[in-house]
Amino acid sequence: MSTLKYALFTGCTAKQSTPELLSSTLAVAKKLGIEITILEEASCCGASHLQDFDEFLAHVLNARNICYAEKLGLTMITICNTCQLNSAMTKHALDTDPELKARVNEKLAEVGLEYKGTSEIKHFLYCLIDEYGLENIKDKVEVPLSHLNIAPFYGCHNIRPSELHHTSNGGENPYNPTSLDQLIDALEGHPVDYDHKNKCCGFHVELQANHTSEILAGNAMVDAIDNNADIMVTPCPLCHLKMDTYQDDIGKVIGRDVELPVLHMPQMVALALGCTPKEIGLNYHVQKATHLTA
């Protein structure tokens, strides 16, 4: 297999509150021989909130990020569902609306850039599955996760709206997603089947609609726990932040103790590829995962 090369759009959380996401992503890439160039020029994707305030500005900033991946001639990969969604929405808007693309390029020209539409945008999860390949990952497993019941939590912005994502996420069915389940299988873990795996975690209204946010996160976590999950795993750092740091508050609203370690997808892969819990930054979690090694 020829070496896979990607331009990595880290997003904001991987540079701040979830450094373990970035380090474990790089650890997985190193173990699998995937070449990664970090897009240090990139800005925030707007996380859907900038879009609420000023949609055009959000398109300009996202187009600029994509420009830097285009300059390298590489696929831009994301490690956050919301980064994936907002970048892909800009790409889709510009690629299908020549008038908008011209207006955005007029602004980008002021800083010497041009959006062309030549780079694909893909979440790292789907690079691993569709491009590196599950069979190849299986061959590299050093520490099978056979002692763990793992609840996959997909996160909205990788699977919905399906029309936007179907070319980049292997045609995942938003009502019955399977990619994370397959990945867990490949690492010899036991995927937990539960109704809320494709539901919303409530992160985006944490500040203004706190009660809603806790209920959504709580419903999902309790469902995973009731189906015997030892840990939860998610490709989205925002789902991670919601479900890892707010467990006490969630428990109070939902009326039950909620204790469940929530891993980032690359942390789980890194663990199976032989990285130590320390190497993948488990110390950065609020809810510590103490029973990960057999």
CA atoms of 122 and 125, how far apart (whole Å): 8
39-to-11, 90, 139, 239 alpha-carbon distances in Å: 10, 17, 30, 23
HSE-CB of 271 using CA atoms within 13 angstroms? 29
Q: Closest separation between CB of residue 144 and other proteins, Å?
A: 27
Residue 286 touches other proteins, criterion: CB under 8 A? yes
Minimum CB–partner distance for residue 61 and other proteins (Å): 6
The owner of tokens 């009502």 is 175
* Token pair belonging to 21: 């996401």
Q: Which of 174, 190, 227, 256 binds other proteins (CB under 8 A)?
A: 174
Residue 262 backbone phi and psi in degrees, to 5: -120, 115
Q: Is 44 in the site for other proteins (CB under 8 A)?
A: yes
Q: Is 38 helix (H, G, I), strand (E, B) or coil?
A: strand
Closest approach, Cβ 205 to other proteins, in A, equals: 5
Q: How far is the CB of 191 from other proteins (least distance, A)?
A: 16
The span from the CA of 93 to the CA of 87, in Å, is 10
Q: Which of 52, 97, 142, 257 binds other proteins (CB under 8 A)?
A: 52
Nearer CB in complex with other proteins: 143/264: 264
Positions touching other proteins (CB under 8 A) are: 12-13, 15-18, 40-44, 46-57, 60-61, 64, 107-108, 110-111, 113, 156-157, 160-162, 173-176, 195, 199-200, 202, 204-205, 207-213, 215-216, 245-246, 248-249, 283-286
